Amino acid sequence: MIEDGSKVSIEYTLTLDDGSEIDTNKGKEPLVYTQGEGQIIPGLEKQMIGLEAGASTKVVVSPAEGYGEVDPSAMREVEIAQVPEAARQPGALLSAEGHGGPIRVHEVREDKIVLDFNHPLAGQSLTFDIRVIAVD
C-alpha cells in the first residue's frame, strides 16, 4: 500500500477537461517516485495514498493542487526586438536564464510582445488515468 516513503512505479495518461491528451508513458518506462517527497504534483501525490500495486484509478487534480491558477502578474510586456523573430507568434515557447520553465508568447502587438511566465498547465484541471505497477 502506498504511504510516505514508498517507492512507487506508475503508468499514466494525462488529459485536460476538453479530453486532449497532454502526456502518457503507456508502453514506455514507468514513472518512479518516492511518496511524500514532493516529486510529483501535490494533488496527485495526495490521491495516491492507500493505493496498492495493480490498482487502476482516475485522479482529477484541481489547478490549485496542480500547477496553480493563472497569475496575471506573471505576464510581462517586452520590446519586440527582445524576442527572436521566429518566436514572434502566440503560443511560441521561449526560455531564459534564471527562469525554471518555458515562457509562452501570449500576444504579439505592433511594437511589443506580451510574455506569459505561468506554467503552461496553470489554470487547468488535470485528469490522470493511473495504473500502479509497483509499490516498494
With 90 as the cut, is the pLDDT of residue 97 above it?
Answer: no
Let me know whether 40 and 12 are in one domain. yes
Let me know whether 59 and 126 are in one domain. yes
Let me know whether 90 and 127 are in one domain. no
* Interatomic CA distance for residues 100 and 61, integer angstroms: 22
Let me know whether 87 and 100 are in one domain. yes
* Interatomic CA distance for residues 7 and 100, integer angstroms: 26
Give the pTM: 0.84
pLDDT at position 99: 82
Look up cell 503507456; give the residue. 26
Sign of CA dihedral 41, 46, 51, 56: negative
2 in any annotated domain: no
Let me know whether 58 and 90 are in one domain. no
37 in any annotated domain: yes
pLDDT at position 45: 97
Let me know whether 77 and 93 are in one domain. yes
Let me know whether 76 and 107 are in one domain. yes
State which residues form the domain around 95: 72-116
1 in any annotated domain: no
Task: Say which amino acid occupies 52.
Answer: E
Query: pLDDT (tens digit, 9 = 90+) per residue, 32-76?
Result: 999 999 999 999 999 999 999 999 999 999 999 999 999 999 999
95 in any annotated domain: yes
Let me know whether 77 and 94 are in one domain. yes
Query: pLDDT (tens digit, 9 = 90+) per residue, 98-128?
Result: 887 889 999 999 999 999 999 989 999 999 9
Segment 70-89 shows an average pLDDT of 95
Q: For residue 24, what is its C-alpha cell?
A: 502518457
Let me know whether 62 and 11 are in one domain. yes
Let me know whether 15 and 78 are in one domain. no
Q: Under a CB-based contact definition with an 8 Å cutoff, are residues 82 and 42 in contact?
A: no
Number of domains into which the chain is organized: 2
Going by C-beta distance under 8 Å and a sequence separation of 6 or more, which residues neighbour residue 104? 91, 92, 93, 94, 115, 116, 118, 120
